[in-house]
Amino acid sequence: MSLQRRSPVCHDDRMEQGGRPSDGGWQSRVLTERFGRLRVGLLIAIASFWIVAPNIPSSAIRDEVDWLWEPAEEMGLVQDWAVFSPNPRSQSIDVRARIEFDDGSIDFWDVPEFDPTIGALRSYRWHKWQERIRLNNREFRWPAAAEWIAHQYERDGRLPRRVTMIRRWIDHDPLIAGAPAPDSGWNEFEFFVWEREL
């Protein structure tokens, strides 16, 4: 005659009749109540509206309901996709710096480029930086940026004497199917000059 072992029966005070946990935290309580599920569904619907609605095309009706997503703008939920379509950017932009040294030699600094996999994240940050630093309303940042660039070129007693920051851009004509992409060449404008104090 073989003896069978029976597993001990545990009585857990946290279990309700039917095997459901009686208190698994506020999340479990919210999702098990009908009113709680309704609240969660309502929050998902509002968040979805705040993400999608601001991207509807401009119209008189849209202007009247703009106030509906003002809270989403305050929370940073609004994602404006207008930059991509239907009006893509008509310029390529760049910022470069010309570094002049005490010995009369010249070098150029360009926004760093990194490897296309992980480095793409760093490249993206640099491209956002150059979009902003070139603007006139960011002129309070120009001296520090130029001084930082100069510091990158201080080597072996060779000191930069002057750093000239240059806006560069190419105007793109609309693309025509089957035609080569037009390239007007870089336009340049010197927008700030930093000089080392003697």
Total Cβ atoms within 10 A of residue 133: 20
Instruction: List alpha helices for the chain, DSSP H.
Output: 26-32, 34-52, 60-64, 70-75, 119-133, 142-152
Where do the domains of the chain lie?
Answer: 26-75, 91-195
Distance CA 168, CA 193 (A): 15
Distance CA 108, CA 21 (A): 67
Closest by CA to 131, choosing from 164, 169, 172, 93, is 93
pLDDT per residue as tens digits for the range 5-51? 555 544 444 444 555 545 567 667 777 777 778 888 888 888 888 77
pLDDT in tens, the chain (198 residues): 555 555 554 444 444 455 554 556 766 777 777 777 888 888 888 888 877 777 777 777 777 877 887 777 777 666 665 555 556 677 889 999 999 998 889 999 999 888 777 777 778 888 889 988 999 999 999 999 999 999 999 988 889 999 999 999 988 776 666 666 666 678 999 999 999 987
Per the CB < 8 A criterion, the answer to whether 145 and 138 are in contact is no
